[in-house]
Amino acid sequence: MADAYYPEGEYKLLDSGKERKLEQIGEYRIDRPSAQAIWTQNLPARDWVKVDAAYERGSSGGEWEFSEQIPRRFNIIYNSIYFQIKLTDFGHLGLFPEQAANWDWMRSLIRKRMARTNDANLNVLNLFAYTGGSTLACSQAGAHVVHVDAARGVVDWAKENAKLSHLDDRPIRWLVDDALKFVKRESRRGAKYHGIILDPPSFGRGPKGEVFKLENDLLPLLQACREILADNALFFLLSCHTPGFTPTALQNLVAEVVTDLTGTLTGGEMLLFEEGSRRALPSGAYARWHAGK
């Protein structure tokens, strides 16, 4: 079991079990589904009843049940990044706290490279970038970042997070685009990136209705990414929340991207740790490569 990891900030996993997770997010306690939490809940039932919002999935979608005091939007800070939290109709909040360890990893790599080389133009591409946690972490470390997502609404949301985090004046390009089309255009233009980040969905649509299905489209996208990965690349990060895409599977995919580069490839589960019990809640998988040992 990995060592328990508790980033600073206004997010805590309080408990999990019975396919649910109990989270403290800022001032508010929220109960949401968590399919892998098939064990027994540690906290007594009264702690699960006294929540500010609970989300339930149904056959025709999902629905929130709110207390009177919780706003539909509020701001928090987590792992040195400000996020606007929105209680969306599909149960997401705009925050994936299990990515915090990856944010720390990228910050450290970028800062070390820039300190060693005094290179002010370290370029990072973030695909399926959503509300910008990885974008903002890399920007904090000094990288120039291209942020790509197919949904204009979440790109605007990410821009708001950048403003909240006092990063709106940093070199970040905000693009609404289809990931594969963008990468292929960058290849034709001869663009190169020192770091590439992907957190693809199981299924998605591009801004012009392009269909992305993970099992069909991930490999061609990764092959296209290899064409724009710089010879002196620093890192490559692939994460996934789709069941069945294990750390080993992701490592095998990333290995094909970095086959000509010298470095270290690792993989694992993204985990959230409960306060108090230190029990780990699996929250996806990752594979990541970095230059050097």
Selected residue with higher pLDDT from 119 and 9: 9
pLDDT score of 119: 67
The CATH number of whichever domain residue 161 belongs to comes to: 3.40.50.150
Q: What percent of the chain has pLDDT over 90?
A: 82
Q: Which of 86, 120, 150 finishes a domain?
A: 86
Token pair 């903002």 in the structure block, residue: 136
Q: Which CA distances in Å does 77 have to 80, 81, 91, 159, 230?
A: 6, 5, 20, 15, 33
Mind listing the pLDDT tens digit for each residue in 47-58?
999 999 999 987
Sign of CA dihedral 25, 31, 32, 37: positive
Region 4-30: what's the mean pLDDT? 96
Is the confidence at residue 212, as pLDDT, over 80? no
Are residues 38 and 114 located together in one domain of the fold?
Answer: no
Are residues 121 and 71 located together in one domain of the fold?
Answer: no
Q: Which tokens go with 143?
A: 């990288």
* Helix (H) or strand (E) run with residue 46 in it: helix 45-49
Provide the domain count of the chain.
2
Distance CA 270, CA 247 (A): 9
Region 226-241: what's the mean pLDDT? 97
Are residues 81 and 106 located together in one domain of the fold?
Answer: no
pLDDT score of 211: 67
Q: Which CA distances in Å does 280 have to 1, 60, 248?
A: 8, 31, 19
Distance CA 16, CA 174 (A): 36
Are residues 205 and 255 located together in one domain of the fold?
Answer: yes
Residues 6+ positions from 106 with CB-CB distance below 8 Å: 124, 134, 137, 138, 141, 195, 197, 235, 237
Domain, as residue range, for 193 = 98-291
pLDDT score of 276: 87
Give the range among 78-87, 199-208, 211-220, 230-239 with minimum mean pLDDT. 199-208
Whether 91 is covered by a domain: the verdict is no
Nearest to 131 by CA among 107, 113, 154, 165: 154
pTM over 0.75: yes
Whether 207 is covered by a domain: the verdict is yes
Mind listing the pLDDT tens digit for each residue in 142-164?
999 999 999 999 999 999 999 99
